[in-house]
């Protein structure tokens, strides 16, 4: 039974039925007991009335002042009652005329000592009888002390057994009517309970149904949907809060995936489109030598661009290397920076950039020299290409106990804080049109990959709205494992 | 027919302009969205070939602005994005067709032709005027089943006139649709082109299919009405 609605309905109905039956049965038994007690009290009064008529004669014999006229209920008739007085010797002192000479009490029952019991009356009707021991009053005793041996009573005066019985048809009729009423009430209650339970369960589960409906409507096309947590019942709020968090992460992952697919599509399809268009046009019409030269030059540039792109993709796709297994050698930083910057001197001059190095002469780092050189080269080429024209580039190295902190910063007039978490994604470019093919947006992704392999953390900051800085610091062995497992490098936002 | 190509990749733009011009189209080109919007708003084009990822104004934004200005030029979107939502977004922005990079040059030309036919409300690639038959898909011209060879520009002129069969086409319209912005137009360039075309398609002794309406322009029809 996996449906909450069905489960609630069944259990509530079962509970309602059990409660209704229990309540009905309890009520019935309570009333039955009360009525029997009342009935028995009537029988007791009858016994007392009969006992008051008994007396002990002077000679020790028993006598009874009884006449049918004074107690007509004991005469034979439709609703006749019965009594029998048994002497200690088990002989009958007196019996009601309604008994017509028969015994009221089977001997076994009298001997069992039960005071009240159900029985079949001599006239065949169901009845109830009661037996009590009573003492007859002495002849001269005026006081009513029939139930106790009075002072001065003759020693031979033993208690007499008085048995009375009467029909219980009235009480049985009332009890049968009560039972019928209770059964009808229980059936009506259960039928009403089904309707009420279904309505109540439906109402109670409506927020859950709404939630399920809304959750069912979520698909890749509307991952920006969020549940209105405040409007939900408090039991559902933690679930929906978690779902919202999950949707947010999913939305972000889907967006990243879409961006990546779109960027890859552009980076890979555009050069193929260029080459295809170039060759198809060239094959379709005869070319002049000048046209042919231009076409070949374009085709060559496309080949170079695609070659470079594929090499970078291979570098990114290579299986990760454990930082502990890197072959390390000492790399002096000043010569490395100067040598790398000299490769971009023409671009630095063309863009009128000023470059400042604040690196201690003896600063060095133990790392894989070729990989670290490619990492620094990618960061510097990024700074040279994207620094504001006429701006500056700063390279700062601070020595610490377990290595160096390297900061490479440049002026920027286009980066926003929202760009920082995305800029390490493969193929990310600030320019949404991705114009020009000198860069494909893989530089920082490559930096991330190299840093991961070298055990270096990379963070990007906007120290001010116009100053972008990348910081490299060694990862301590304690946190190294965590960083290597994490695909996305920590990015801090520091807008001052 | 005159086309505008808005594409930011220099190499692709160069080869497409070259190929389309050699196919007989007058082609203007723009390297960014701003320039493309300016040209599309101020000049008259039969088809606009538009890249989506463009600097300054992206292709979809350009298209929306163009439509908001009431321009009904047929637009063929070129893009590397092939996801369904991208195509839907392009068509909903007002594009008439969508071509994913990389594409065959021949397919681009075929789609441009289809858009031109749609502009002139003609679904048939074959148009007949008397015994002159023009297959606009194969770009083949015959008269009495005899093939006639035309230079691309001559073919474009004939196709433009035939597409507007029965209507007077002014010299200015012909200039606007057949020559790109870089063409060095002399005052009698249209008259010379019409004259050259008549020489190739008219038969000796038979009335010309291209009729002159003095002071107004030219009209193509079976009979001079």
Q: How many separate helices (H) and strands (E) can be counted in chain A? A: 11, 15
Distance from CA of A262 to the nearest CA of B (A): 6
Distance from CA of A454 to the nearest CA of B (A): 36
Closest-approach residue (CA) in chain A for B10: A436
Q: Give the per-residue pLDDT at A186.
A: 87
A190 three-state secondary structure: helix
Residue A97 DSSP label: G
The two structure tokens encoding residue B117: 């036919």
Q: Give the per-residue pLDDT at A476.
A: 61
Do residues B34 and B56 make contact, with C-beta atoms less than 8 angstroms apart?
A: yes
Q: Which residues of A touch B104 (CB under 8 A)?
A: 276, 280
Q: Which residues of A touch B58 (CB under 8 A)?
A: 432-433
Q: Which residues contact A140 (CB under 8 A, 6 or more apart)?
A: none
Are β-strands A467-474 and B2-6 bridged in parallel, bridged antiparallel, or unpaired?
unpaired
CA distances (Å), A90 to each of A61, A103, A121, A291, B143, in order?
15, 11, 21, 146, 148
ipTM score for this prediction: 0.76
Distance from CA of B6 to the nearest CA of A (A): 13
Q: Give the per-residue pLDDT at A458.
A: 92
pLDDT greater than 50 at residue A396: yes
Tens place of pLDDT per residue across chain B (225 aa): 889 999 999 999 999 999 999 888 889 999 999 999 999 999 889 999 999 989 889 999 999 999 999 998 999 999 888 888 888 888 888 899 999 999 999 999 999 989 988 877 766 778 888 888 888 877 888 888 888 888 888 888 888 888 888 888 888 888 888 887 776 666 688 888 888 888 888 877 777 888 888 888 898 887 665
What pTM value is reported for the model? 0.61
Q: Give the per-residue pLDDT at B123.
A: 67
Closest-approach residue (CA) in chain B for A284: B19
pLDDT greater than 50 at residue A486: no
Which of B24, B26, B108 shows the shortest CA–CA distance to A273? B108
Q: Which residues of B touch A221 (CB under 8 A)?
A: 85
Distance from CA of B131 to the nearest CA of A (A): 30
Q: Which residues of A touch B90 (CB under 8 A)?
A: none
Kind and range of the H or E run holding A271: helix A237-284
Residue numbers of B between 146 and 185 with CB closer than 8 Å to A: none
Residue to test with chain A: of B5, B7, B10, B15, most A Cβ within 10 A: B15
pLDDT greater than 70 at residue A481: no
B16 touching A (Cβ < 8 Å): yes
Which of B58, B5, B50, B9 shows the shortest CA–CA distance to B30? B5
* HEC secondary structure over A407-469: EEEEECCCCCHHHCCCCCCCCCCCCCCCCCCCCCCCHHHHHHHHHHHHCEEEEEEEEECCEEE
Q: Give the per-residue pLDDT at B18.
A: 92
Quickly tell me which residue has 């002049």 as its tokens. Answer: A288
B102 touching A (Cβ < 8 Å): yes
B139 touching A (Cβ < 8 Å): no
B213 touching A (Cβ < 8 Å): no
How far is Cα A175 from Cα A404, in angstroms, rounded to an integer?
98
Q: Give the per-residue pLDDT at A113.
A: 58
Quickly tell me which residue has 């999913």 as its tokens. Answer: A250
pLDDT digits (tens, 9 = 90+) for A151-178: 334 445 678 888 999 999 989 999 999 9
How far is Cα A460 from Cα A462, in angstroms, rounded to an integer?
7
What mean pLDDT is predicted for residues A330-345?
Answer: 92
Q: How many Cα neighbours within 13 Å face the side chain of A25?
A: 6
Q: Which residues of B touch A275 (CB under 8 A)?
A: 102
Do residues A132 and A115 make contact, with C-beta atoms less than 8 angstroms apart?
A: yes
The two structure tokens encoding residue B83: 């996801």
Do residues A275 and A302 make contact, with C-beta atoms less than 8 angstroms apart?
A: yes
> A454 falls in which pLDDT band (50, 70, 90)?
confident
CA dihedral B86, B90, B96, B100 (to 10 degrees): -40
B130 touching A (Cβ < 8 Å): no
Strands (E) located in A149-260: 160-167
pLDDT digits (tens, 9 = 90+) for A230-245: 888 888 899 999 999 9
Q: Check A262 against B19: CB less than 8 A apart.
A: no
pLDDT digits (tens, 9 = 90+) for A182-224: 999 988 988 888 899 889 988 888 888 888 888 899 888 788 8
Report the mean per-residue pLDDT for chain A: 83
Q: Give the per-residue pLDDT at A31.
A: 94
Q: Which residues of B touch A298 (CB under 8 A)?
A: 11, 14-15
B128 touching A (Cβ < 8 Å): no
Q: In this complex, which of B12, B55, B100 lies closest to A277 when CB atoms are compared? A: B12
Kind and range of the H or E run holding A326: none
Within a 10 A sphere around the Cβ of A362, how many other Cβ atoms?
Answer: 9
Q: Is the bond into A320 cis (omega within 30 degrees of 0)?
A: no
Q: Give the per-residue pLDDT at A479.
A: 47
Q: Give the per-residue pLDDT at A26.
A: 94
> A397 falls in which pLDDT band (50, 70, 90)?
very high
Q: Give the per-residue pLDDT at B44.
A: 87
Q: Give the per-residue pLDDT at A148.
A: 46
Q: Which residues contact A204 (CB under 8 A, 6 or more apart)?
A: A8
Count A/B contacts: CB-CB distance under 8 Å: 88
How far is Cα B151 from Cα B127, in angstroms, rounded to an integer?
19
What mean pLDDT is predicted for residues A314-322?
Answer: 70
B18 touching A (Cβ < 8 Å): yes
The more confident residue out of A100 and A490 is A100
Are β-strands B26-30 and B2-6 bridged in parallel, bridged antiparallel, or unpaired?
parallel
Closest-approach residue (CA) in chain B for A220: B85
């Amino acid at each position: 039974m996996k449906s909450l609605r069905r489960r609630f309905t069944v259990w509530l109905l079962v509970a309602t039925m059990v409660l209704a039956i229990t309540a009905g049965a309890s009520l019935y038994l309570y009333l039955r007991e009360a009525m029997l007690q009342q009935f028995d009290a009537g029988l007791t009064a009858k016994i007392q009335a009969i006992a008051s008529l008994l007396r002990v004669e002077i000679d020790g014999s028993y006598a009874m002042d009884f006449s049918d006229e004074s107690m007509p209920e004991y005469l034979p008739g439709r609703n006749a009652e019965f009594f029998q007085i048994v002497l200690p010797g088990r002989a009958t002192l007196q019996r009601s005329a309604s008994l017509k000479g028969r015994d009221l009490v089977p001997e076994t029952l009298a001997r069992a000592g039960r005071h009240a019991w159900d029985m079949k009356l001599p006239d065949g009707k169901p009845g109830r009888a009661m037996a009590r021991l009573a003492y007859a009053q002495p002849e001269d005793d005026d006081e009513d002390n029939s139930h106790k041996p009075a002072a001065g009573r003759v020693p031979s005066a033993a208690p007499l057994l008085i048995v009375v019985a009467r029909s219980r048809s009235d009480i049985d009729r009332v009890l049968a009517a009560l039972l019928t009423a209770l059964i009808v009430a229980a059936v009506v209650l259960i039928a009403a309970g089904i309707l009420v339970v279904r309505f109540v369960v439906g109402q109670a589960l409506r927020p859950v149904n709404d939630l399920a409906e809304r959750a069912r409507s979520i698909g890749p096309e509307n991952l920006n949907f969020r549940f209105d947590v405040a409007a939900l019942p408090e039991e559902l709020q933690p679930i929906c809060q978690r779902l919202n968090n999950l949707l947010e992460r999913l939305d972000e992952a889907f967006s990243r995936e879409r961006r990546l697919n779109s960027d890859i599509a552009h980076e890979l399809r555009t050069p193929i489109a260029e080459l295809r268009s170039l060759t198809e046009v060239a094959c379709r019409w005869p070319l002049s030598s000048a046209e042919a030269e231009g076409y070949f030059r374009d085709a060559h540039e496309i080949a170079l661009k695609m070659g470079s792109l594929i090499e970078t993709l291979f570098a990114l796709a290579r299986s990760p290397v454990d930082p502990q297994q890197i072959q390390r050698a000492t790399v002096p930083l000043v010569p490395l920076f100067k040598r790398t910057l000299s490769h971009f001197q023409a671009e630095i001059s063309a863009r009128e950039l000023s470059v400042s190095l604040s690196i201690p002469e003896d600063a060095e780092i133990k790392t894989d020299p070729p990989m670290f050189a490619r990492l620094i080269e990618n960061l510097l080429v990024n700074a040279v290409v994207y620094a504001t024209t006429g701006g500056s580039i700063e390279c700062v190295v601070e020595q610490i106990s377990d290595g160096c902190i390297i900061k490479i910063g440049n002026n920027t007039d286009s980066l926003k804080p929202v760009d920082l978490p995305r800029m390490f994604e493969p193929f990310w470019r600030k320019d949404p049109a991705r114009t020009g093919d000198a860069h494909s947006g893989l530089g920082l992704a490559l930096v991330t990959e190299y840093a991961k392999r070298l055990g270096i953390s990379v963070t990007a900051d906007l120290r001010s709205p116009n100053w972008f800085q990348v910081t490299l610091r060694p990862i301590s062995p304690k946190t190294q494992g965590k960083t290597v497992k994490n695909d996305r490098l920590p990015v801090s936002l520091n807008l001052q | 027919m005159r086309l505008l190509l808005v594409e930011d990749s220099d190499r692709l733009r160069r080869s497409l302009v070259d190929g389309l011009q050699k196919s007989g189209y007058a082609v203007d080109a723009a390297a960014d969205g701003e320039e493309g919007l300016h040209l599309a708003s101020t000049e008259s084009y039969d088809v606009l070939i538009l890249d989506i990822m463009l600097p300054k104004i992206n292709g979809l934004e350009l298209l929306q602005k163009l439509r908001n200005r009431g321009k009904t030029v047929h637009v063929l979107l070129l893009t590397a994005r092939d996801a369904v939502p991208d195509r839907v977004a392009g068509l909903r922005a007002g594009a008439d067709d969508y071509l994913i990079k990389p594409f065959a040059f021949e397919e681009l030309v075929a789609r441009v032709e289809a858009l031109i036919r749609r502009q002139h409300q003609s679904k048939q690639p074959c148009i007949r005027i008397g015994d002159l038959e023009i297959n606009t898909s194969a770009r083949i011209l015959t008269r009495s089943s005899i093939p006639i060879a035309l230079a691309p520009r001559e073919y474009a002129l004939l196709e433009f006139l035939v597409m507007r069969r029965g209507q007077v086409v002014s010299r200015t319209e012909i200039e606007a649709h057949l020559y790109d912005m870089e063409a060095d137009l002399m005052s009698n360039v249209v008259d010379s082109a019409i004259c050259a075309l008549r020489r190739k398609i008219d038969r000796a002794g038979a009335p010309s299919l291209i009729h002159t309406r003095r002071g107004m322009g030219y009209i193509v029809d079976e009979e001079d009405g």
